[in-house]
Amino acid sequence: MTRIVFLDRSTIGPAVTLSKPAFSHDWIDYDRTRPDQLVERLKGAQIAISNKVPIRRAEIEQLPDLKMICIPATGYDAFDIDACRGRGIVVSNVRGYASHTVPEHTFALILALRRGLIGYRQDVIDGKWQEADQFCFFTHPINDLAGSTLGIIGEGALGQGVARLAQAFGMRTLFAAHKGVNGLGPLYTPFDDVLKSSDIITLHCPLMPATRNLIARPEFEKMKRRPLLINCARGGLVNEADLVKALDDGSIAGIGFDCLTQEPPDPANPLLSVLDRPNVIVTPHTAWASDEAMQTLWDQAVAHMENFQAGQPSNRIC
């Protein structure tokens, strides 16, 4: 009987119906798994389900029965794909499940920052409206989306979804060419030009060696319009120490981040020191996590396990 072990069940919300594959199997799940528990828990398992618990070469070499890794997420940098390929282990991820939830979360951040909602809400809590001598006051900047320019880094399904929402707001949208790459065609704007001309820049690209620290001090210095910077993609795309310096010196107008380089964040992360600012919003990697999106994600994951068992693996990374 096929043994299936889910290493980090708590990464899927409690509202999701956790259906099981239709084939005969032995199912074990754990809310969380530490690295030192991984090998023991996967002994004898043919299928491992892991969202963010890393499975590297050292562990793979100790798991001769492992045949498939099912990732209930799109990102797969926590897994040693070369080692899996060498062992013939199928790795499948899920895609397209967040086509509504991530763009909507992106625009929730953009609207809150562009309209000064965080600052004004705090002003009311602090009693400033009650003390005002007129019906309104102006302690934070308020700007429309209509007529502004949105630079999108990442032209996949999520970037395209963000662009559609932006266009409904009357925004001009620019898709950035890959950094340092020319000649991608008329649908793309050179990377540096996007930095220079955007009122808001939003990231929707994967984290790879080529994109780590994609935005750092040199890029902030090119942002002539003091844009908002939004990251609902992956931590590590932005150098966080440089990000705080850019906030401090006014190179950017504010940030909305849903992901950090280390999650949960290291107490020494410089972003934690600026969380009380009205132009800073950090959410705990929940842009993907609407109930609807998580159910779609899980249904895909179950289908991938069933397809693997039937000899027709789907959404293969390797």
pLDDT digits (tens, 9 = 90+) for 127-162: 999 999 899 999 999 999 999 999 999 999 999 999
- The single-letter code of the amino acid at 292 is E
Domains of the chain by start residue, with CATH:
2-97+291-309 (3.40.50.720), 101-282 (3.40.50.720)
Is the Cβ–Cβ distance between 47 and 308 less than 8 Å?
yes
- Distance from CA of residue 161 to its chain's centroid? 14
| Stretch among 50-64, 80-94, 109-123, 183-197 having the lowest mean pLDDT | 183-197
| pLDDT over 90 (residue 12) | yes
**pTM (2 d.p.):** 0.90
Phi-psi region of 226 (alpha: psi -120 to 50; beta: other; left: phi over 0): left
| pLDDT over 70 (residue 82) | yes
Q: What is the mean pLDDT of residues 34-44?
A: 96
CA angle 84, 89, 92 (to 5 degrees): 95
Percent with pLDDT over 90 in the chain: 93
Percent with pLDDT over 70 in the chain: 99
Strands (E) across 59-103 are located at 68-70, 90-92
Task: For residue range 172-196, list pLDDT tens digits in order.
Answer: 999 999 998 876 677 899 999 999 9
HSE toward the beta carbon, residue 148, CA cutoff 13 A: 22
Which helix (H) or strand (E) is 2 found in, with range?
Answer: strand 2-6
**Could you list the active site residues?**
234, 263, 285
Task: For residue range 222-234, list pLDDT tens digits in order.
Answer: 999 999 999 999 9
Cβ count within 10 A of residue 194: 24
